C-alpha cells in the first residue's frame, strides 16, 4: 500500500508549489494592516492597562507634570478627567519602580545573578517581578499573631572614646625608668596635677577631686605593667567564674589575662604582680559542705604564697606589698589569715570590705563592687531603662532573704506599715505577679540596700543599673572606689540605729537634691559596667586604677 501512495503524494506537492509560485502577494496592503493594528494596540493599552508599555520594557522613567485647570471644554466629561488622572498617577508610581531597577550594559562584566530586585509590596508589578528570596506566608492565624513578640530595636551603643595618644619623648622617658622610679615619678605628677574643671569623658560632680583622678588615670595608662603568675592549676587558678553574685572576681581575671595594654611577660618590668586565683572556685574545689571549716582553704593559699616566695625573687623583694589579689566571695578575707604577709602587706580587692573584722585596711585595700551577672554572654543585659522621676510612685523598696542583723530589724519596723515603704522579705507571689523585682526598682525613688551576713550587697550596683538612688545600711562598710568617688552625690548612707527613722530621713531630702542625685546615678553607671571589651573608665579600669592608686600611696619618695 505504501508504494502506490508515494507517487500520488509527490504529484500533489508539485502542483501545490506551482500554485504558490504563481500567487502574487500585495505587500502594501500587508504593511498598512500591520501599522493599523500596531496603532490600535498602543491606543488600547493606554485606556485598558493600568500602566504604560515603557514599564514592560524597563525604560527610563519619564517625568510627568500635571496642570490643574478650573474649567473644562464642553466635549470633555467628568468621567474622562478622572480616568486621565488615574492614568497619570499610575505612570508616576511605576516610573519610580523602574528607576530602582538596575541598568545592565551589554559589555558589562557584572552578572545578572548578582542583582537582587526587591519588589514593592504596594505595587501591581509585584506578581511580574520575582524576588530571589523566599516568600513568606501572607496569611497568619489570629493565634499566631497574638504570640508574635515585636523585638525592640535598640540604638547602637556610642563608640568608645579614642585612646589617648602619648608623646613619643614622654613614652621613651618612662621606658627608661626602673619600675620603682616610674612609680615615684607618677606620684610626684599626681601631687601637682593640673586643675580640671570640665572633661568630656568624666562627670565632675561624681568625684572627690576630678583633677587628681584624671591625672592618676592618665599616668596609669602610660606607665602601669602587671605580671600575672603562670603557676596554679585549674579550676582554682586561671579559670574565671562568670555567673552569679560573685562574678566580679571572675570578670576581672578574664579581662586582665586577655589584656594586651597592661600585662607584661617580663616580671622585671612589672609594677604590680597579680595572684590569679578565684575565691569562688576555691570554695567549690576544697570546701566540704556543712563542715563550717575554712582551714583547708587557708592552708592552700598559705602554701601557694610560700611557693611563689621560694620560686621567684619578687615576693621577698617587697614582702608582697606590690602583689594584689581579687576576691569577691564572702569568705575571701578569712581564707588569708594563715599567711601574715598575705594578710598585712598584699593589696586585697575584696567585696567584703568590712573594717570591723581587722583584715580589710582602708587606704591599702580596695573595695570591690559586687555585681550580679545572670548571662555571661550578655553582661550588659537589663541595664538601664529606668523610669523618669514622675513615673516613680514608690518612695522606697526592698525585697530579699532574711539573714544578718539588719534585715530583720528593717522588716520589724516597716513591713506592711506604710504604703510608700514597700518593704518585703522574699517578694510575695501575689506581688510579683503584678510587678517583678526589677520593675519595682525601676519605679521606686529609693532602693534600700541593707547588709546581709556580710556588709557587701549586690543591690547597690543593681540600684545604679536601674537608676534608683541607693540607700545603704551597713556600718563599717567601705564603699567601692571611695578614694575617688563622692558617694554622697548619688546615694544615701543610713546608720543601722536610724532604721526606725528611715522614712523621715528620706522625706527630709529636698526634691532638688533628689533630682540631682538621680541624674548622678545615671552618670555613674558607666563606672560600674562590665564590658566584654573594656572601655576607658568602666568597671575593669576603675578596679585596676584603685589597685594602682593604692600602690602609689605606699610609695615613699626619696629626697634625691
Backbone angles phi, psi at 520, to 5 degrees: -65, -35
Three-class DSSP category at 486: coil
Exposed / middle / buried, residue 156 (Cβ in 10 Å: 0-12, 13-18, 19+): exposed
Q: Quote the CATH superfamily of domain 389-527.
A: Glycogen Phosphorylase B; (3.40.50.2000)
pLDDT at 124: 35
Delimit the domains of the chain by residue range.
Answer: 168-223, 226-374+538-554, 389-527
Instruction: List the one residue out of 342, 361, 458, 450 whose CA is nearest residue 398.
Output: 450
Own/partner long-range contacts of 259-266 (Cβ < 8 Å, ≥24 apart) = 259/534, 261/221, 262/224, 262/225, 262/226, 262/544, 263/225, 263/226, 263/227, 263/228, 264/225, 264/226, 264/227, 265/227, 266/227
* Distance in angstroms (rounded) separating the CA atoms of residues 441 and 467: 8
CA-based end-to-end distance of the chain: 133
* Distance in angstroms (rounded) separating the CA atoms of residues 348 and 339: 13
pLDDT at 40: 82
One-character DSSP codes across 217-278? HHHHHHH--EEEP----TTTBS----SBTTHHHHHHHHHHHH-SSSB-S-GGG-SEEE--B-
In this structure, the strands spanning 323-327 and 444-450 are unpaired
Residue reference for cell 506581688:
431
pLDDT at 14: 74
Exposed / middle / buried, residue 315 (Cβ in 10 Å: 0-12, 13-18, 19+): buried
Instruction: List the one residue out of 190, 199, 243 whose CA is nearest residue 220.
Output: 190
pLDDT at 334: 96
Q: Tens-of-pLDDT digits for all 560 residues of the chain? A: 445 556 666 777 777 666 666 656 677 777 888 888 888 877 776 665 554 554 444 444 444 444 343 333 344 444 444 444 444 444 444 444 334 334 333 333 433 333 333 334 333 333 343 444 444 444 445 545 445 555 555 455 555 555 667 777 887 888 889 999 999 999 999 999 999 988 999 999 999 999 999 999 999 999 999 999 999 999 999 999 999 999 999 999 999 999 999 999 999 999 999 999 999 999 999 999 999 999 999 999 999 999 999 999 999 999 999 999 999 999 999 999 999 999 999 999 999 999 999 999 999 999 999 999 999 998 888 787 778 898 999 999 999 999 999 999 999 999 999 999 999 999 999 999 999 999 999 999 999 999 999 999 999 999 999 999 999 999 999 999 999 999 999 999 999 999 999 999 999 999 999 999 999 999 999 999 999 999 999 999 999 999 999 999 999 877 65
The C-alpha cell at 497 is: 540605729
Q: Are 333 and 357 in contact (CB under 8 A)?
A: yes
Instruction: List the one residue out of 528, 478, 513, 172 whose CA is nearest residue 350.
Output: 478
Q: What is the DSSP letter of 110?
A: -
pLDDT at 20: 61
Cβ neighbors of 198 (< 8 A, separation 6 or more) are 204
Angle at 267 between CA 265 and CA 272, to 5 degrees: 105
Taken as a whole, the chain contains a residue count of 560
Amino acid at each position: 500500500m505504501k508504494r502506490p501512495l508515494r507517487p500520488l503524494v509527490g504529484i500533489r506537492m508539485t502542483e501545490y508549489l506551482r500554485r504558490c509560485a504563481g500567487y502574487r502577494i500585495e505587500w502594501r496592503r500587508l504593511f498598512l494592516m500591520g501599522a493599523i493594528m500596531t496603532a490600535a494596540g498602543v491606543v488600547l493599552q493606554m485606556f485598558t492597562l493600568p500602566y504604560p508599555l515603557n514599564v514592560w520594557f524597563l525604560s527610563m522613567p519619564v517625568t510627568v507634570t500635571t496642570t490643574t485647570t478650573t474649567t473644562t471644554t464642553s466635549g470633555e466629561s467628568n468621567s474622562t478627567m478622572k480616568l486621565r488622572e488615574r492614568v497619570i498617577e499610575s505612570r508616576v508610581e511605576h516610573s519610580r519602580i523602574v528607576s530602582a531597577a538596575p541598568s545592565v550594559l551589554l559589555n558589562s562584566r557584572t552578572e545578572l545573578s548578582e542583582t537582587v530586585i526587591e519588589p514593592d509590596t504596594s505595587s501591581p508589578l509585584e506578581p511580574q517581578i520575582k524576588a530571589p528570596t523566599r516568600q513568606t506566608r501572607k496569611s497568619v492565624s489570629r493565634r499566631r499573631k497574638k504570640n508574635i513578640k515585636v523585638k525592640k530595636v535598640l540604638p547602637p551603643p556610642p563608640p568608645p572614646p579614642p585612646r589617648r595618644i602619648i608623646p613619643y619623648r614622654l613614652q621613651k622617658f618612662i621606658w627608661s625608668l626602673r619600675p620603682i622610679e616610674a612609680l615615684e615619678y607618677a606620684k610626684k605628677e599626681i601631687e601637682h596635677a593640673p586643675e580640671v574643671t570640665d572633661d568630656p569623658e568624666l562627670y565632675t560632680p561624681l568625684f572627690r577631686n576630678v583633677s587628681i583622678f584624671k591625672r592618676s588615670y592618665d599616668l596609669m595608662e602610660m606607665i602601669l605593667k602587671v605580671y600575672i603568675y603562670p603557676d596554679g592549676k585549674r579550676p582554682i587558678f586561671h579559670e574565671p567564674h562568670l555567673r552569679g553574685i560573685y562574678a566580679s572576681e571572675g570578670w576581672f581575671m578574664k579581662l586582665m589575662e586577655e589584656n594586651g595594654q597592661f600585662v607584661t611577660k617580663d616580671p622585671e618590668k612589672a609594677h604590680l604582680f597579680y595572684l590569679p586565683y578565684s575565691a569562688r572556685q576555691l570554695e567549690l574545689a576544697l570546701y566540704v559542705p556543712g563542715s563550717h571549716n575554712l582551714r583547708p582553704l587557708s592552708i592552700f593559699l598559705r602554701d601557694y604564697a610560700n611557693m611563689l616566695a621560694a620560686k621567684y625573687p619578687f615576693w621577698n623583694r617587697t614582702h608582697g606589698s606590690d602583689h594584689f589579689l581579687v576576691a569577691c566571695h564572702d569568705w575571701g578575707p578569712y581564707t588569708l589569715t594563715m599567711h601574715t604577709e598575705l594578710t598585712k602587706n598584699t593589696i586585697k580587692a575584696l567585696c567584703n570590705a568590712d573594717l570591723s573584722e581587722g583584715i580589710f585596711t582602708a587606704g591599702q585595700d580596695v573595695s570591690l563592687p559586687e555585681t550580679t551577672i545572670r548571662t555571661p554572654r550578655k553582661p550588659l543585659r537589663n541595664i538601664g531603662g529606668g523610669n523618669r522621676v514622675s513615673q516613680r510612685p514608690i518612695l522606697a523598696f526592698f525585697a530579699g532573704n532574711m539573714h544578718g542583723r539588719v534585715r530583720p530589724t528593717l522588716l520589724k519596723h516597716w513591713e506592711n506599715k506604710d504604703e510608700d515603704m514597700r518593704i518585703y522579705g522574699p517578694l510575695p507571689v501575689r506581688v510579683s505577679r503584678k510587678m517583678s523585682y526589677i520593675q519595682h526598682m525601676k519605679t521606686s525613688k529609693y532602693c534600700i540596700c541593707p547588709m546581709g551576713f556580710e556588709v557587701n550587697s549586690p543591690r547597690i550596683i543593681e540600684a545604679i543599673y536601674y537608676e534608683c538612688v541607693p540607700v545603704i545600711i551597713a556600718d563599717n562598710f567601705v564603699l567601692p572606689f571611695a578614694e575617688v568617688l563622692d558617694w554622697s552625690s548619688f546615694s544615701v548612707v543610713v546608720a543601722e540605729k536610724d532604721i526606725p527613722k528611715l522614712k523621715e530621713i528620706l522625706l527630709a531630702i529636698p526634691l532638688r537634691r533628689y533630682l540631682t542625685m538621680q541624674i548622678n546615678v545615671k552618670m555613674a553607671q558607666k563606672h560600674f559596667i562590665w564590658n566584654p571589651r573594656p572601655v576607658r573608665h568602666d568597671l575593669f579600669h576603675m578596679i585596676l586604677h584603685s589597685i594602682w592608686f593604692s600602690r602609689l600611696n605606699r610609695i615613699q619618695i626619696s629626697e634625691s
